[in-house]
Structure 1
Amino acid sequence: MSILREITIGNARLILGDCREVLPELRGVADMLFCDVAYKLTSGGNAHQSMGGLFASDNYNNDGLLMDVPPWHDLGGPFFHACKDNADAYIMTNDKNLFQAGAAFEGAGWKFHNLLVWDKIRATRNRWYMKNLEFTTYWWKGKADPQGINHCGSKQSFQLNAPKETAHPTEKPVALCEHYILNSTTQGDTVLDPMMGSCAAMVAAVQNGRHAIGIEINETWFEVACARVRKALA
């Protein structure tokens, strides 16, 4: 059974399950897709001894895995088919996974718009330049001459030193998700997050009058997502 649990809260539909099994049941539902994909991190050696925060030795055992990690080539196609024609997609990744993500999504039919950057201002210690950036590959599905973003003065780089609101290891700020959602949707549109994690995109969507569909494989984070959406709508 692909959908293990499902809860509707206001204009949000939250689904417990593996997105690779659930998405075939959601063909053509989304006007925009946001996903902070669970990807493998750098592993090997003792590099983590020179790093802090998320990658400190007491949080990260250096095997490259913080959570279940699906192959990139498993995602591009299901994400594509879950979107309506002329939909936008924002797929977050780090430097190590950038090229794999690009190949997988281009191969699935997505067309590349732009490479966006979240400048976190604060940096993670690293022996090969301190890391203060995460990347968002910005894609579209549909016609050859797509419509531009709603706020054409938006820059490629989004600067935000955001405090954490949950204990999720790769939490993204609501404000970053909101920036993308307000640029690629209008009120009443549907935003899909196939790996909702800490639920930032769902919160941003419902707070701005969008419908939201989120999928999460981890039951603990599914419960956190439900609580955050209830609070956002309250």
Structure 2
Amino acid sequence: MLNLQKDWHCYLKKGNSKELIKQIPDNSIDFLLTDPPYNIGKHSTGNIPLPGRTPMNNDVADWDWVDFNPEDWVEDFLRVLKPTGNLFIFTSYNQLGRWYNCLDHRFDTSNFMIWHKTNPAPKIFKAGFLNSCEMIFCCWNKKHTWNFISQKEMHNFLESPICMAPERLKEPKHPAQKPVSILKKMITIASNENDIVFDPFMGVGSTGVAALELKRKFIGFELDEKYFQAGKKRIMEYKKNVSNI
């Protein structure tokens, strides 16, 4: 079991987060912010062939072909979250209802946010809508931690470009890497300095970087070796740069 009273700023662990989450004490997490698999791999049509050009990359990561069941995670999420904590989960159209059914009756309030990507991939054949929005399912109880910025800033709508260079990693390339800017907005609203932010699917560590930049503590788990090492490197480099200031 992790000793969260120690003077540490982040705890990163490679492995199966379903097992690693057992190390986290009850009622210890201030903000659980995560981006689990969407289960859209089976709906992918693969790369899009273009006449006389390189095919447009439409691949879905290997990990999204494996069935991910929100129902399997609810009890552990509820166990580790403080009564004053907030739970934000990036999700997709096919999983939103499942998260709602699992969590709505377990919290005083459930809500959602939309992240609008201002530069989504184009629809080459113009046969549908551009995939420019992602949903974030949100839950909290009465007296939860909340930093209301202003009426103008508190719409449940975030807008930014998708993660681009130089922030976006070229190797390994994570198809779902989120911009630090939108993660910082959520962390600012839903937690306070020195609070613990937890991401059981940390990918290449964007939530960790955002949390540390805002003087929060961070716990991150990741199963994939390449993503874990990339995320760990980003977070350690940030810590090193801060200590040298």
TM-score of the aligned structures, taking structure 2 as reference length: 0.79
Match of 1:43 in 2: 42
Deviation at 1:29, TM superposition (A): 2.0
CA separation in 1, counterparts of 2:88 and 2:32?
6
Match of 1:223 in 2: 229
Question: What residue identity is the alignment partner of 1:24?
Answer: K
On the 8 A contact 1:19/1:216 being kept in 2, the answer is yes
Give the gaps of 5 or more residues in structure 1.
none
Larger Rg: 2
Match of 2:199 in 1: 193
Q: What is the aligned length?
A: 220
CA separation in 1, counterparts of 2:73 and 2:224?
18
On the 8 A contact 2:41/2:65 being kept in 1, the answer is no
Question: What residue identity is the alignment partner of 2:131?
Answer: K
CA separation in 2, counterparts of 1:170 and 1:203?
16
Q: 1:60 to 1:39 in 2, by over 3 A?
A: closer
On the 8 A contact 1:29/1:82 being kept in 2, the answer is yes
Question: What residue identity is the alignment partner of 1:219?
Answer: E
Match of 1:150 in 2: 148
Question: What residue identity is the alignment partner of 2:114?
Answer: V
Q: How far does the alpha carbon of each residue in 1:100-151 deviate from its partner, in whole angstroms, 9 at most, with x for none? A: 22212236x24443210111112234533111000111111x44x5454332
Deviation at 1:48, TM superposition (A): 6.0
Match of 2:19 in 1: 21
Match of 1:56 in 2: 57
On the 8 A contact 1:181/1:205 being kept in 2, the answer is yes
CA separation in 1, counterparts of 2:211 and 2:193?
9
Match of 2:53 in 1: none
Match of 1:119 in 2: 116
Question: What residue identity is the alignment partner of 1:118?
Answer: W
On the 8 A contact 2:120/2:131 being kept in 1, the answer is yes
Match of 1:74 in 2: 72
Deviation at 1:39, TM superposition (A): 1.9
Question: What residue identity is the alignment partner of 1:115?
Answer: F
Match of 1:174 in 2: 180
Question: What residue identity is the alignment partner of 1:158?
Answer: L
On the 8 A contact 2:86/2:145 being kept in 1, the answer is no
Match of 1:97 in 2: 95
Report the RMSD for the aligned CA atoms in angstroms: 2.9
Q: 1:204 to 1:60 in 2, by over 3 A?
A: closer
